[in-house]
Amino acid sequence: MGSNRYEFIAGELRQQIATGGFSAGDQLPAESELTKLFGASRPTIRDALSMLENEGLIMRLHGRGNFVRHTSGQITYAADSLSGDRRAAVNAAIEVSVSIRETAAGKELASLLRTPPATALIEYAFLSHHMTFPYALARVYVPCDVARLDIPRASGSPLGDEVLDRLEGAGIHVANRASRVTARLPDAEEAWTLRIGTGTPVLGIERVSTNVAGRVVEASLLTLPGHSAEAVFTAHATTPAPDLEGAR
Amino acid sequence: MGSNRYEFIAGELRQQIATGGFSAGDQLPAESELTKLFGASRPTIRDALSMLENEGLIMRLHGRGNFVRHTSGQITYAADSLSGDRRAAVNAAIEVSVSIRETAAGKELASLLRTPPATALIEYAFLSHHMTFPYALARVYVPCDVARLDIPRASGSPLGDEVLDRLEGAGIHVANRASRVTARLPDAEEAWTLRIGTGTPVLGIERVSTNVAGRVVEASLLTLPGHSAEAVFTAHATTPAPDLEGAR
DNA sequence: GAGTGGTCTAGACCACGAG
DNA sequence: TCGTGGTCTAGACCACTCA
């Protein structure tokens, strides 16, 4: 494979994982063991393991060991239309826990929601688990004076769709929704929460929903591990008169 | 800052870059020099520098040195509507080079374009530079039997919009466009081309355009460094009922 | 050839998790 | 307490760039 020592070792381990030599959930040999198996020093072994971790193939747990990840669930964030299929497509065996708290908008959130700083918000934090390990983090914010929604409970969607449904149910209709997508590294807290390495790319999605009056009624911050998530957007030209500005 | 040695060092350097101690384009002290300045060993120094590289703050050039990046241009990929403002918002002083070649669809491209394998394609490869360094890579594919477009030349948009315009100009209208966005690590070739580290997250965009008949007329693979790119998508509530509120 | 970063070693000690 | 990974050291040698 690679010409470097650590790339070669990473390739070997990668192949053993792919071909079933190590299965999902298996613990890899201890790093001290791998140094003997490959005849390399520990930093070299660890460089190789870091590659696999950043690719999402293994999970490294301090004091416990290195484990092959369950590569099952690919999350798809779809925002085709407002009323259509915006559900996240996920596998079964999902556990979503929701925590709700009231907070005041910081500088960043205030800018996102276009409210004065310190505006009272309700935060709905969704953390999803699959096979006892987390794989998606969604924080949904609704200004207190827009709605105080009923508790969505532990529910189906890991991406906070429940809140959008309740908004609709409360007669608050979304006319416009903008999503800003970035690829970045997780901060320390996100990495801890999602059990990923600080070098694992994450897909960050900032979603802002506004009503017909242009008022922001909901904003969300989604953090998804890059190796198990994708976002899909579709644009149609078929609508009768969507283009207010003339075609070119 | 961080409790670890390398995180602390990274924080110090980060601050010196932010506050102008080191300016864009400046060369950092040699790593051997930094070991003396911080009283740390070289691997520790290099761990810190790796963090800065992956954050997009510095560029590491083998045999030359470590340099502060020009943090200027933030690329915005916008796909709000088909006829609206899908232009990439970029700064001035951009240089876009285009290379065109005919190729046969591999397995992956064939699946993307929904054509049989080995279908003849034309590839338009856009590589954009800013301050002599690359910052965006776009590969646009059009089946040969759809169109053989005039050379777009070195043109404005770094994301291949020129091809879309020429398609429109050739009477080939796009009815539907799907974008798939992922956060991932670059492969070796991409990292080399974009002058980023292999640990720097990239924003990957797969865009597929179809005509009214459902035929794929264009597909694109965009690779953008995560630290200097974002993708923005907007959905309007184009409900079946005619929308009376036109102004916003 | 001089100076730079890229790779690798063979240890050491610390922090964490579980019995 | 023990085995695990996390951090760090003080070197070595190689590969690349440029004068």
Domain ranges of chain B: 5-68, 75-232
B134-178: pLDDT as tens digits: 888 999 999 998 878 776 666 667 777 888 888 888 888 888 889
A53-100: pLDDT as tens digits: 999 999 999 999 999 998 766 788 887 654 444 444 445 567 788 889
Q: Which nucleotides of C are covered by protein (CB under 7 A)?
A: 3-12, 15-18
A226 alpha carbon, distance to own chain's centre: 7
pLDDT over 70 (residue A117): yes
Average per-residue pLDDT in chain B?
A: 85
Q: Quick check: B3 contacting A, CB < 8 Å?
A: no
CATH (one of 1.10.3720.10, 3.40.1440.10, 2.60.40.1840, 1.10.10.10) for A5-68: 1.10.10.10
Domains A5-68 and A75-232 share a fold: no
Residue of higher predicted confidence among B173 and A2: B173
Q: Which of B80, B176, B237 has the CB atom closest to A175's CB atom?
A: B237
B66 touches strand D (CB under 7 A): no
Yes or no, beta carbons of A243 and B83 under 8 Å apart: yes
pLDDT over 50 (residue B88): no
Yes or no, beta carbons of B202 and A183 under 8 Å apart: yes
Q: Which of A82, A212, A247 has the CB atom closest to B235's CB atom?
A: A82
What superfamily in CATH does domain A75-232 come from? Chorismate lyase-like (3.40.1410.10)
pLDDT over 50 (residue B190): yes
pLDDT over 80 (residue A47): yes
Q: Which nucleotides of D are covered by protein (CB under 7 A)?
A: 3-12, 15-18
Yes or no, beta carbons of A82 and B173 under 8 Å apart: no
Residue of higher predicted confidence among B49 and B167: B49
**Tokens linked to A141:** 């914010």
Residue of higher predicted confidence among A236 and A73: A236
Structure letter (DSSP) for residue B175: -
**For residues B102-119, average pLDDT:** 93
**For residues B209-218, average pLDDT:** 92
Q: Quick check: A201 contacting B, CB < 8 Å?
A: yes
Helix axes A31-38, A42-54, angle to 10 degrees: 110
Average per-residue pLDDT in chain A?
A: 85
Q: B80 to chain A: nearest residue by CA? A: A235
Residue in B179, B174, B225 with CA at minimum distance from that of residue B199: B225
Yes or no, beta carbons of A181 and B203 under 8 Å apart: yes
Q: Are B123 and B100 in contact (CB under 8 A)?
A: yes
pLDDT over 90 (residue B109): yes
Alpha carbons A77 and B51: distance in angstroms, whole number: 29
